[in-house]
A and B are shown apart, each in its own frame.
Chain A
């Protein structure tokens, strides 16, 4: 991939957090199968992208991925979960909507939009007058991904989502320049206190 940073020894700086999925399935599949313990995991991680930086682009940022796997995890559960989680993050009632989207690790895959945080859905310049903001990809975990993790997709289903954690923080606090977050500037950063 063009936008990945490679090191001299052939390793790379990770460009997304998805690699962790397989490790999590392998670690917890026995508990899932033998003891009926559902897998519910979130894994934030620092990601890197080899691109020029500006107010909207950073080469170093945080992403977070989440999965839930059990016998009857459904699209209905996915929508409920995303709506609840995002409402908690933003501390207000967030409307979500799904649109079909193609992502290799999920099927069906969705683009998730949330009601605009600025105008609440009425339409404003920041949502290009649509009332919605495109937030993150999500979907039902692809059967092959479960299989690769040692989980039988005929018996288990699951959902997964990937969130731009840095972007989420920017939206929540109204940070306009993503580079502020890695700037080390105490004038910027000392505003983020420990209350929330």
Chain B
């Protein structure tokens, strides 16, 4: 919404104050003002009233005329003018030599063989309307030579407020409400509206009007006839134009003017078409043509203004074509009403038709405003056109009154909320300046909210805090920290474990943390030969490619690896994120937070990479849970898994996830030459595992003995299990030291570390254990490498 400082200044005297600073404060205290502020009129100067004294045709041009104009400087000036509406005796706006219009300075100018000493201007050239059909005609009485800026309010500051920031302020949809804010901010008096005294028409007959539906809260109307003028005063047209509206005719301009001034939408009917005004809904839908000549379908929920049973307007939205003011209209009925805001909003949505009026009604307008708006309308109209006659008394039905809001609170309440000292005086003064009724007795304030704020905006005590503090100014707050005792809080287990996992993976293993989306990507998965598995779907995904929620992070992570194959020969990525595994018994998503890790290498064999990952996970379990992992072969069930090289991961007894090699076909599609392995762990399951307590044992004073043995195998798990099964107290540690491939196939070298707490070990006793392990493994088909 555009706002005019001139208009605001009608209601509050801002003389001597910095207007730009006031606008800035308004933006911080009331509603956001857009950055661009327009200084209207600042780009024109030297334009005066001048009378055309002579008009002669140009000898060679049909369009051009040679004029002699009186610009009030005691001589006639020669002007060449192309406007079609020039005539002798006409007064116009004349830019003298030396005048400025925008960037242009007017100078004597040769035009088709004659010199023009100045320029007659159109309204558009002066910037006061978009009329460029001819030069401006000045009807007002003013001597030639009068600067038009003195004659008309061309100089103005126009600023724009974002409508969204006014959603909750029905009182700010007109200049008068805005002026109230400026008055409060400037500490100056808000002037009362200059209104007609409607009481003097009380003896006239009433309009036949009846509210038959409580969606209409209040309906006020009056009848007027004998309007002889059709054109609005220039200053009125300028204000409307500056505020973004086009001048139409006096009556239309005046309803718009009232709406922009008071925020009250008004409508004028041809009285012949509304002999029996009824406000109601209809039982069945019908078609109705609005004054923009569009036929609209109206349903049974839409409130209508009717002439008995004939609809004449959509209440609060738009008038009908049939009841519009026309050429031969003699008497008009002026409507000023309030309607249920929710009903108007819903009707606007159903009709898909939002108007300046409906936009205001949606905000819960003040029902106390309908009558003053009529009184103001009559005042302005009769000032402009003294022939106008009011022919009915004010007819007013107030069906649904707004709820009066009274609030009581004490000084302590204000102190507690603000945290600063605002004096009782300031509180009362601020509230009064905003139109609140505020009384202080002892330390107790009692406040009555004015009607224009009570319809939905200010309802609780906390709202009053806003009123006091925003006018006080948040920039003026003395700010300080909250003082409160400190209490220790136990850290959240899952979060702590998550942080530790991230730390280890990033800092020790230089993995990259990635984030991805929670849905499967059909196209990207397909490119890698990964199936999108059946799962719960989004019902309103705009992109069908992302319809299904993922069951695992791994497929998306493989897509990310594919995207990054050129990044380095070796890298690893991980993500902790959510997946959904279908629905649980309560028909809710079975959500899991998973850790997914993928390693990519062009320098390592898939076996080496697999052991890297297994070791990495073992370190996580050891560092975070002081626990060991065990692995158990399992069957592939997903399209991205290797059919054989796949293991379940257990921590203690608990199954926490899986580790495996990526299916060779998928792996090849990512990179023909790379090894790719992955693991996925359920973070909640991992977090829940009890920390194994550390059992301290005195280190042996006797030397340890390492024995390396190689087995022909591509899996470590059975080897590790065989060593464990030995249950030999002399074995202190087992680690994989090498993997390689030769003519015998893939081999793994493990190092077993032996020690005894009380003596030096003999070769015989350790070899006995090794032999037993080898025997165990040979039984399961894994032979020792000689």
Contact = CB atoms under 8 A, between A and B. Distances in A.
B477 A100 contact: no
Interface string A76-90: 110111011000000
A182 B517 contact: yes
Contacts of B513: 189
Interface stretch (B328-336, B378-386, B581-589, B602-610): B581-589
B174 to A, nearest CB: 19
Contact of A80 (B32, B416, B480, B515): B480
A9 B417 contact: no
B523 interface: no
Interface string A162-190: 00000000000000000001111111011
Given A37-B485, A72-B419, A9 B512 contact: no
Contacts of A80: 479-482
Residue from A76, A111, A184, A186 with most neighbouring chain B CB atoms (10 Å): A184
Interface in B756-779: none
Contact of B487 (A37, A99, A143, A186): A37
Interface in A53-78: 59-60, 68, 70-77
A196 interface: no
B589 A9 contact: yes
Given A50-B541, A194-B506, A185 B417 contact: no
Contact of B536 (A9, A31, A70): A9
Interface string A6-24: 1111010100000000000
A69 B474 CA distance: 21
A193 B32 CA distance: 39
A81 to B, nearest CB: 7
Interface in B539-571: 539-542, 549, 559-560, 563-564, 567-568, 571
Contact of B482 (A59, A81, A101): A81
Contacts of B465: 75, 107-108, 140
A175 to B, nearest CB: 13
Contacts of B578: 46
Contacts of B538: 5-8, 13
A178 B609 CA distance: 34
Contacts of A50: 540-542
Contact of B474 (A6, A9, A79): A79
Interface residues of B, number: 64
A100 B185 CA distance: 14
Contacts of B567: 186-187, 190
Contact of A38 (B485, B542, B583): B485
Contacts of A184: 514-516, 559-560, 563-564, 573
B329 to A, nearest CB: 42
Interface residues of A, number: 60
A186 B564 contact: yes
B463 interface: yes
Query: Among the interface residues B35, B559, B578, which one has the most CB atoms of the partner chain A within 10 A?
Result: B35
Given A7-B539, A83-B479, A143-B462, A74 B419 contact: yes
Contacts of B482: 38, 68, 70, 72-74, 77, 80-81
B545 to A, nearest CB: 12
Contact of A9 (B30, B462, B477, B588): B588
Interface string B470-502: 100011011111101101000000000000000
B462 A75 contact: no
Contacts of B404: none
B470 A100 contact: yes
Nearest to A127: B35
Q: Which of A68, A97, A100, A130 has the most CB of B within 10 A?
A: A100
A128 interface: yes
A110 B583 CA distance: 40
B741 to A, nearest CB: 30
B469 interface: yes
A108 B564 contact: no
Nearest to A112: B474
Nearest to B413: A154
A148 B397 CA distance: 40
B35 A76 contact: no
A46 B515 CA distance: 11
B596 to A, nearest CB: 12
Interface in B243-291: none
A189 B416 contact: no
B175 to A, nearest CB: 19
B476 to A, nearest CB: 11
Nearest to A108: B466
Given A7-B536, A50-B541, A97-B475, A185 B563 contact: yes
A194 to B, nearest CB: 6
Interface string A136-176: 00001011000000000000010000000000000000000
B539 A6 contact: yes
> Which of B506, B560, B571 has the most chain A CB within a 10 Å cutoff?
B560
B398 to A, nearest CB: 29
B583 A9 contact: yes
B458 to A, nearest CB: 10
Contact of B419 (A8, A31, A60, A76): A76
A159 to B, nearest CB: 9
A129 interface: yes
Given A5-B541, A8-B538, A184-B515, 8 more contacts: A6-B539, A36-B485, A75-B420, A99-B474, A107-B462, A108-B470, A110-B474, A184-B559
Interface of B: 27-32, 35, 165, 167-168, 416-420, 460-463, 465-466, 469-470, 474-475, 477-482, 484-485, 487, 506-507, 512-518, 536-542, 549, 559-560, 563-564, 567-568, 571, 573, 578, 583, 587-589
Q: Closest 4 A-B residue pairs measured CB to CB?
A: A74-B419, A76-B419, A184-B560, A108-B466
27 contacts: A7-B537, A7-B538, A8-B536, A8-B539, A9-B536, A36-B485, A50-B540, A50-B541, A59-B517, A72-B482, A74-B416, A74-B419, A75-B419, A75-B420, A75-B477, A76-B477, A80-B480, A83-B479, A97-B28, A99-B28, A99-B474, A107-B465, A110-B474, A157-B417, A184-B563, A184-B564, A186-B512
Interface of A: 5-9, 11, 13, 31, 35-38, 40, 46, 48, 50, 52, 59-60, 68, 70-77, 79-81, 83-84, 97-102, 107-108, 110-111, 128-130, 140, 142-143, 157, 181-187, 189-190, 194
